[in-house]
A and B are shown apart, each in its own frame.
Chain A
């Protein structure tokens, strides 16, 4: 072995030995400065001293030293690479998280379940071309009752127990909290010419004792479509689409005969019970009938069409009224309507 080789081998051995003990990035950096530093690294100095070597050895020595430099640089990079991989491995292993711990809390808010249900109902009807209209909650008795064919001394008034405004006009109470959204049928038709296709959402009020299924403040959507050629089969189709959208694509609907003074014919719509699927069990929701009453509907009474200034022989229409709380209760299985307006966060946060 030549002396050159011996010398380079010794240098390599010493450098690699030192590198092997250089743990941590700071020590590796110190090692780099010690051996490969630009100014006074030992190998740098040795390379710089090449010019003093005997000319016949210079080429061979230079080649060996440059090889050594490449080796050392390569080893350093390899060591650094290994250290990074080790750190990442340690991050995955030693510093592994308990991912079951709770996340950092964010403030989050939700819409009230009645609002959510209202939005879903509005969306369902909007797809069928219904636009939103709104009317006042404090209403004239003549709109709430007389204009929808419920005169003062008619027993149909008993269908809606009324909260009256305590203000007299000509010695009489004439204002009330609307008991239903139906007066807006009149308000819409007064303001527009056919075709009409609107839904009217809003709060309604009833003077009645509350229990698990009755609340004195409630939310309704009124629907109204009036045009040439509006048929009762269209009412059924519209409500069928609504029922499937809200309660599932496999829903079925039926109409029962009913009576509301402002429609003729008048019906109540029921959907098949998606809870018991009419399996004959003692179902609390449908009482074993297999059908759940959802809303009242019918063809707009021809007198109402005429009173709006439309020709009832030409124009026909349908109307319906949906109770939003009832829909929400069915969707989520809420057992008591009185939860809605107590504003208890423990209730509201679940929707």
Chain B
């Protein structure tokens, strides 16, 4: 049988929604008082993995590096992807890692998963000050070809190839869709606008079935969870955590407020004269735009 194995790397992030987030008087994030959740981009990556589950009956594994409470993120990701294997890489020594050191940990973990991974997914980036580098660096360490901004994909399980649609910018055009074919394995970083398309009744029935299974599994997620410390993971201590991080954060600066060069005018929506004025402005703006 041609079993497809896919892995997702995810991250626990602060929940920035109103009602959950707290800020210190100096405007920085109050981490202690802010709830944590599965990062929104990680969730999209988990969705992308679920597509492989539904369509190709793939086996899904999820991994993250973080403190013990990061297991809640794994649980949430399992609920989205119906994963059968959850990896948490947790050790004091991993703390303070930059993206490169994180990638080393994740790579080692992925290689320890049951079965060789055909596709590894990551989110576009994290929402708490990350740079979108963990994905590509993990890909590089794994030696997998990397594809960013993936919109959707189809796998040919027999031939072990994948067709990918991805968003690229080409000669100044921002929204060009590129379609590529590659042999597996690959590493895909999923675009925020990624959407799984299930367009037959049978696919939708499997979707519902696996979603339910995922819900049940995630209620018993501990059964699927494996926690690794430095030693258990068998990773080189000089390549992870602070020692493995070449990045030095010198200072974090607040982004200075830009000076507004626009002028606002308050219009009253119940006044037809004002509405006409607004429309005239829009027309003016439209006619000034040159469609390239």
| A, B in one complex | no
What is B's interface to A at a CB cutoff of 8 Å? none
Q: Which residues of A are interface residues toward B (Cβ below 8 A)? A: none
